[in-house]
């Protein structure tokens, strides 16, 4: 199905609609005006579109028609069950006696598959299929043109040739749907309330659908006239044939006679090859669910028919199973040579496959379809959109991301990339898994032809995206607990900050210049620079402000009012600064933010090797309406890969210890906490209806803590500090900052066919009018000193943004690590445990999804309240499930460390249970809050899956499913939270189950934290 309707109304790509509009725009007489788009099409235009959709929706259940509108999508709650039931109704092993009453089932699985240019049953002769198609085309064309007085909107179905075509077998009792005794208008617009029906337009639209489907690989096998045709040619052929058919229609050409429509279709569209064979199951049963690759929506209807059926020129394929792969099925695929590389959604996997013959995979009972990995899928949709719209831009800086597979070594393959792109090898920037280059847009298709290239994405620049803030994070009020955190200030903790530098510091350890700034005395261990020529000076002012929000301590001197003591959230911690400012060659005193291509090598690994376990990043992508929301791109991939590593299952056993540079799986760093700003794009889209979500790129990483911004208690106008009598905080502490980027992330289509993104941001913290240290590299009159409010002390400056929120949360992470070490001697808690504690302590105040969820897409899981998190550490209401790929299943360092979960293990190995936990007597009305977090392999879709279950009395709740989630589980997020008010039993139990794992025989890491809170304190 390649129309936009379906569950939730927006599941599928509108392929048929778009092809139909593009054809009609090119034909005088169609009444569709130039410039019409799907969202701007009139009711009259939509009558064509409703016709082309009808073949997929002959019951008319994908739309809610009203007297004045014909293009309001329904929820699909009627259509989808009919579609699913159709597969069972038309199962050859046991045909249902009700099958002819389900017209959606007849169209997609039964005797009416000619509507999609498909045979009705395996073994049907090509001539019979063509006869059915041509019969339908004849009646619809004559209905559209009005040339036959016997075929009108009021003519009964049984009085046309369709009477026999749609008839039921002689031995079938009863009638059928569509009813043959009803008029053609009822068949094409069943039950419609729309008053301006145009059945002639709908008939023409139905013809278009058949033509378009005849060029889809899931329907008809075509032999290209030119074997050199590119895969994308199918789209063009379908559009061209619709244009030619429409031209014949609007120039008055009759169905019959020389050069008539019948002859055109017979010879140009449905001409049978002399080697045409009877239909087989591999064509008629091709029902691939949509999924997304690099933003490209893939379904059988938009895959051209002449894609090679063999993998003779590639080692990378797409495999779609009929359901979740079991561990045994994964092993079976591996024995057959198909090694899973990434899960793409809808049971579809990118695989490495060296044999040429794909048929052994197609023949497996659990496999739905197999295709080669098309080169057209390698360029991201964002890059394609940029090339289409930026007409004045010729050269693009791009990353060629390489497949993770043996023998793919970037340094060795760089010459091939340079040759394909027609650039010099000296112009390539080579890192662990990609090659960066500047390429002319005309040459962009060339690298995509290289088999070792996984995807090509445009390189976008990044932007840099507190006394009262500290109090907001510690405050016990709304949803907090009694103040505990004053004991912890980050002693023994080191945070690495990647930013624009710091103050007047210079490269090296214990930089002396910093001792002159009151905020950083004895707090900066080292300043590193990434780019040649950078001295570490913070000429932007951003990095200094960020660093002081973590560890700074000083006094804001106000001559007119009393002085104010200012501290970061972890004033006893120390920092290492990684300056990522790049000097301009022409003027080294001027710098711009430049994120290194290889985050792992240039930033994360250096910090990790120095013993640092917290990494704060206050930068993100700037917004453009043309590009819109960023995908899960390579920055997110690198973050997730650094934390999780590369699963051993992605590398064949004979390559694991081969010694080649990139043939040994990347190490995992599951105790490394990476924080990333959500970015400041919440108020940037000019059309919020089109772009309701903005979080993407690095901020979409699953294994990072993505931080959004809320307001503060300081008087502000939503962005800047304001002062004066009666000044108020327009954006208060519980409000989401207007600029804070919203989620969810862009999402692949999940197993049920409903597109949903992950919950982001994870948490929020104050980010409006934050007072912190000012870089002395900023001139006193620099504009940025007053952009977010006037400061009367030149050592301190106001700034707003998620850049300000992120370091505040980084300092809170330091406090949690300090508390774990202080109370239990735990020096290496997992990043999953830190996230679980942080999220479980947070409280969502925006509540956009309603009560009981505990999250939304503005504040994520809520505002950080670190006291609540520390209370859980003190009370010991958490566990850290230690998976260790290739090592011991449990470190056993504290009593809270438990074994990771093994998918193929026994019941106790697959499932963690807390045991029955008593609700204290006399606590009164209470709320249970529990959070599960676990690391996940790199990939836009969730690769592993665990489930959080809480049981009390005879009732249960599942993570992220709200109050009425029923039996459903979240298979989108690797963070799950349960909020449960007034538990029904005297005890409760926290359970974590593993549902899927890339490494089913090895323990998988997880962490879970829980807290029981009195309702009176919420």
Task: Examine the residue annotation and report whether 145 is marked as an active-site residue of this protein.
Answer: no
Task: State the catalytic residue, choosing from 399, 499, 534, 793.
Answer: 499
Task: Examine the residue annotation and report whether 499 is marked as an active-site residue of this protein.
Answer: yes
Helix (H) or strand (E) holding 50: helix 43-54
- Cα 252 to its chain centre, rounded Å, is 48
Residue 118: count other Cβ atoms within 10 Å of its Cβ.
Answer: 26
Give the up-direction half-sphere exposure of residue 577: CA atoms within 13 A in the CB hemisphere: 37
Is the bond into 341 cis (omega within 30 degrees of 0)?
no
Tokens 């200012």 correspond to 566
489-511 per-residue burial string, b: 16 or more CB within 10 A, e: under 16: bbbebbbbbbbbbbbbbbeeeeb
Residue 742 structure tokens:
């919203």
Task: Examine the residue annotation and report whether 803 is marked as an active-site residue of this protein.
Answer: yes
Residues 105-109: contacts with CB under 8 Å, at least 24 apart:
106/58, 106/176, 106/177, 107/55, 107/56, 107/58, 108/1, 108/56, 108/83, 108/287
Alpha-carbon distance of 131 to 550, in angstroms, equals: 75
- Which residues, at least 6 apart from 922, have a Cβ–Cβ distance to it below 8 Å? none
**3-state DSSP assignment of residue 236:** helix
Query: What distances in angstroms separate CA 275 from CA 27, 126, 309, 483, one per listed residue?
Result: 35, 10, 17, 81
Tokens 């029906």 correspond to 197
Residue 950: which of 920, 993, 909 has the closest Cα?
993
Alpha-carbon distance of 578 to 502, in angstroms, equals: 9
Residue 323 structure tokens:
């359901």
Alpha-carbon distance of 110 to 629, in angstroms, equals: 40
Torsion of CA 452, 229, 246, 191, to 10 degrees: -40
Residue 274: count other Cβ atoms within 10 Å of its Cβ.
Answer: 4
Query: What distances in angstroms separate CA 690 from CA 39, 111, 295, 741, one per listed residue?
Result: 11, 40, 16, 15
Alpha-carbon distance of 139 to 852, in angstroms, equals: 55
User: Within 254-408, where are the H helices?
Assistant: 261-264, 281-284, 327-335, 359-362, 381-389
Task: State the catalytic residue, choosing from 206, 597, 775, 803.
Answer: 803
Query: What distances in angstroms separate CA 576 from CA 60, 493, 526, 573, 834, one per listed residue?
Result: 62, 11, 5, 10, 21
Task: State the catalytic residue, choosing from 339, 542, 668, 669.
Answer: 542
- Which residues, at least 6 apart from 217, have a Cβ–Cβ distance to it below 8 Å? 234, 286, 300, 303, 304, 305, 306, 307, 371
- Which residues, at least 6 apart from 624, have a Cβ–Cβ distance to it below 8 Å? none
**3-state DSSP assignment of residue 914:** coil
User: Within 586-659, where are the H helices?
Assistant: 599, 605-609, 634-644, 653-656
Q: Among all residues, which ones are annotated catalytic?
A: 499, 542, 803
């Amino acid at each position: 199905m390649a129309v936009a309707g379906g569950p939730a109304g927006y599941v599928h790509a509108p392929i048929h609609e778009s092809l139909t509009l593009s054809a009609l725009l090119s034909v005088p007489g169609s009444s569709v005006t130039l410039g019409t788009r799907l969202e701007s099409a009139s009711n009259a235009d939509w009558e064509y579109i409703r016709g082309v959709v009808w073949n997929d929706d002959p019951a008319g259940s994908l739309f809610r028609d009203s007297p004045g509108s014909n293009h309001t999508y329904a929820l699909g709650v009627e259509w989808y069950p009919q579609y699913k039931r159709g597969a069972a109704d038309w199962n050859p092993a046991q045909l249902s006696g009700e099958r002819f009453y389900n017209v959606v089932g007849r169209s997609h699985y039964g005797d009416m598959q000619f509507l999609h240019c498909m045979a009705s049953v395996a073994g049907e002769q090509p001539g019979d299929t063509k006869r059915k198609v041509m019969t339908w085309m004849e009646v619809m064309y004559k209905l559209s043109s009005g040339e036959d007085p016997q075929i009108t909107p009021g003519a009964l179905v049984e009085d046309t040739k369709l009477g026999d075509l749609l008839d039921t077998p002689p031995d079938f009792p009863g009638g059928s749907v569509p009813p043959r005794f009803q008029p053609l208008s009822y068949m094409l617009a069943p039950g419609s309330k729309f008053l301006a029906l145009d059945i002639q337009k709908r008939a023409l639209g139905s013809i278009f659908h058949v033509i378009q489907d005849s060029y889809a690989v899931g329907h008809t096998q075509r032999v290209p006239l030119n074997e050199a045709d590119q895969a994308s040619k199918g789209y063009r052929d379908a559009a061209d044939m619709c244009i030619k058919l429409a031209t014949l229609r609007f120039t008055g050409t009759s169905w019959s006679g020389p050069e008539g429509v019948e002859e055109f279709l017979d010879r140009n569209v449905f001409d049978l090859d002399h080697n045409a064979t009877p239909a087989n199951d591999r064509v008629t049963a091709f029902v691939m669910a949509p999924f997304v690759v690099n933003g490209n929506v893939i379904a059988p209807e938009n895959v051209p028919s002449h894609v090679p059926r063999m993998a003779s020129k590639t080692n990378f394929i797409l495999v779609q199973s009929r359901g979740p792969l079991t561990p045994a099925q994964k092993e079976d695929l591996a024995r057959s040579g198909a090694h899973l590389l990434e899960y793409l959604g809808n049971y579809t996997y990118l695989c490495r496959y060296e044999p040429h013959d794909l048929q052994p995979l197609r023949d497996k009972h659990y496999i739905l379809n197999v295709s080669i990995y098309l080169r057209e899928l390698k360029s991201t949709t964002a890059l394609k959109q940029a090339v289409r719209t930026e007409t004045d831009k010729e050269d693009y800086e791009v990353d060629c991301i390489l497949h993770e597979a043996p023998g793919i070594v970037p340094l060795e393959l760089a010459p091939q990339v340079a040759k394909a792109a027609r650039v010099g090898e000296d112009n390539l920037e080579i890192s662990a898994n990609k090659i960066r280059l500047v390429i002319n847009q005309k040459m962009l298709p060339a690298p995509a032809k290289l088999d070792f290239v996984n995807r090509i994405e445009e390189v976008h620049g990044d932007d840099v995206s507190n006394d009262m803030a500290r109090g907001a994070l510690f405050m016990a009020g709304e949803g907090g607990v009694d103040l505990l955190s004053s004991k912890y200030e980050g002693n023994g903790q080191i945070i690495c900050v990647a930013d624009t530098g710091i103050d007047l510091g210079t490269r090296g350890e214990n930089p002396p210049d910093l001792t002159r700034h009151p905020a950083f005395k004895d707090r900066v261990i080292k300043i590193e620079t990434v780019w040649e020529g950078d001295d570490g000076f913070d000429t932007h002012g951003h990095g200094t402000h960020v660093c002081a929000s973590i560890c700074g301590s000083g006094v804001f001197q106000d001559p007119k009012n009393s002085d104010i003591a200012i501290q970061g959230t972890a004033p006893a911690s120390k920092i290492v600064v990684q300056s990522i400012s790049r000097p301009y060659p022409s003027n080294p005193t001027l710098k711009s933010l430049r994120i290194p291509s290889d985050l792992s090598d240039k930033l994360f690994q250096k910090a990790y090797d120095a013993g640092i376990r917290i990494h704060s990043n206050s930068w993100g992508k700037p917004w453009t309406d043309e590009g819109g929301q960023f995908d899960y791109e390579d920055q997110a991939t690198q973050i997730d890969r650094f934390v999780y590593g590369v699963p051993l299952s992605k590398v064949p056993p004979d390559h694991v210890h081969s010694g080649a540079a990139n043939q040994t799986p990347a190490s995992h760093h599951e105790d490394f906490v990476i924080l990333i700003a959500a970015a400041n794009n919440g108020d940037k889209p000019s059309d919020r209806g089109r772009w309701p979500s903005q979080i993407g790129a690095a901020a979409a990483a699953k294994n990072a803590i993505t931080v959004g911004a809320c307001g503060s208690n300081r008087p502000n106008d939503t962005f800047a500090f304001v002062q004066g009598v009666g000044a108020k905080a327009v954006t208060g502490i519980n409000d989401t900052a207007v600029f804070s980027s919203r989620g969810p992330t862009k999402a692949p289509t999940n197993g049920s066919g409903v597109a949903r993104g992950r919950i982001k941001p994870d948490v929020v913290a104050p980010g409006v009018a934050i007072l912190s240290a000012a870089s002395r590299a900023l001139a006193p009159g620099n504009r940025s000193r007053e952009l977010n409010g006037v400061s009367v002390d030149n050592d301190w400056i106001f700034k707003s943004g998620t850049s300000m929120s992120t370091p505040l949360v980084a300092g809170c992470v330091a406090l949690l690590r300090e508390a774990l070490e202080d109370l239990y001697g735990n020096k290496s808690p997992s990043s999953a445990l830190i996230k679980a504690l942080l999220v479980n302590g947070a409280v969502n105040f925006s509540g956009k999804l309603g009560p009981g969820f505990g999250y939304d897409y503005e504040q994520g899981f809520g505002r950080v309240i670190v006291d609540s998190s520390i209370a859980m550490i003190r009370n010991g209401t958490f566990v850290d499930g230690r998976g260790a790929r290739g090592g011991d299943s449990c470190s056993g360092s504290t009593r809270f460390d438990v074994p990771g979960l093994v998918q193929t293990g026994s019941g106790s190995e697959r499932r963690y249970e807390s045991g029955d936990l008593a609700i204290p007597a006399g606590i009164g009305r209470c709320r249970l809050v529990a959070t599960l977090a676990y690391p996940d392999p790199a990939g836009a879709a969730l690769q592993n899956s665990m489930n959080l279950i809480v049981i009390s009395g005879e009732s249960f709740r599942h993570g992220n499913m709200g109050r009425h989630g029923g039996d459903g589980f979240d298979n989108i997020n690797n963070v799950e939270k349960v909020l449960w008010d007034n538990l029904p039993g005297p005890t409760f139990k926290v359970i974590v189950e593993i549902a899927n794992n890339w490494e089913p025989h090895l323990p998988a890491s997880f962490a879970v934290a829980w807290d029981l809170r009195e309702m009176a304190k919420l």
